[in-house]
Amino acid sequence: MRVRNAVRRGGLMSGDSLAPKLTGPAAGAPPMAVDWTDKQLQRRSRIVEATLALLAQRSENVEVREVAGEANVALATVYSYFGSKEALFAEAYLTWCTRHWAAFAQDAVGDTDAARLENVLHRTIDAFAREPHMLRLINLTGRSGDSAVTSSLRASIDGAVELFETTMPGQGARDAHTIATIAFATLYFALNQWAAGLLRTDEVHDLISDLVRVTLVPTEPSPHADEQRQVGR
């Protein structure tokens, strides 16, 4: 299998950043994770789980004080772990993504690279369709200048690209990374078009299927290639 040259010239090559262009330090940044005790890590996890539970109930209309109440901690405790509301929500989004990526990687379905990649892409679409507030949340959060937000978003992107790469063991490392990066960029664009009401869910699925079809092509020529060339003359 190989990447079509036209796609490879599209500008999204290995190493290109897809993370939001966010800069600036996090206000009141929490201590580094390496300094946390097991008890602190458990408390932090409880705060993230409370955030996810409230987001599932209330979409993105959740306040930090509500998270504190759900996690049974003081409001100041939440801010001691997360320097801002945006940082908390970005970490919750990363946790949500990580769980889905792990599940998809464990049981990707398909006998070929193309089939496995298409499978995890369609399942990713379905995950966001079930919980559309996660996409709205991260688009709102991504406007922050908090460096902790940037870190979480970058990690979520890297996790998605790595997941897509694992579905393509038949590709070289560079091609697999390029295809995975293009797949993520296309998926993110299509999901935002869907969130804006410009695409239906089935159209997003169709776009992704077309992407896989035109990106992953056989290295061996078709047995009818000579006949087709003759007809074209």
Please give the pLDDT value at position 9. 30
- Does any domain span residue 69? no
- Does any domain span residue 108? yes
Q: Work out the angle between the directed axes of helices 147-166 and 173-195 (0-180°, nearest 10).
A: 120
- Does any domain span residue 149? yes
Please give the pLDDT value at position 44. 94
- Does any domain span residue 62? no
Please give the pLDDT value at position 32. 53
Specify the number of domains making up the chain.
1
- Does any domain span residue 27? no
Residue 97 near residue 156, CB atoms below 8 Å: yes
Q: CATH number for the domain including 131?
A: 1.10.357.10
- Does any domain span residue 66? no
Please give the pLDDT value at position 189. 95
Q: What residues have CB less than 8 Å from 4, skipping those under 6 apart?
A: 214, 215, 217
Task: Residue 151: give the domain boundaries.
Answer: 2-10+85-219
Please give the pLDDT value at position 33. 55
- Does any domain span residue 64? no
Please give the pLDDT value at position 37. 87
- Does any domain span residue 76? no
HSE of 52 in the Cβ direction (CA atoms, 13 Å)? Answer: 14
Q: What is the mean pLDDT of each run of 10 residues along the chain (233 residues)?
A: 35 34 40 72 95 88 94 95 92 94 89 95 95 86 82 93 95 95 96 94 96 77 46 43
* Spatial distance between the Cα atoms of 123 and 135, rounded to a whole number of angstroms: 15
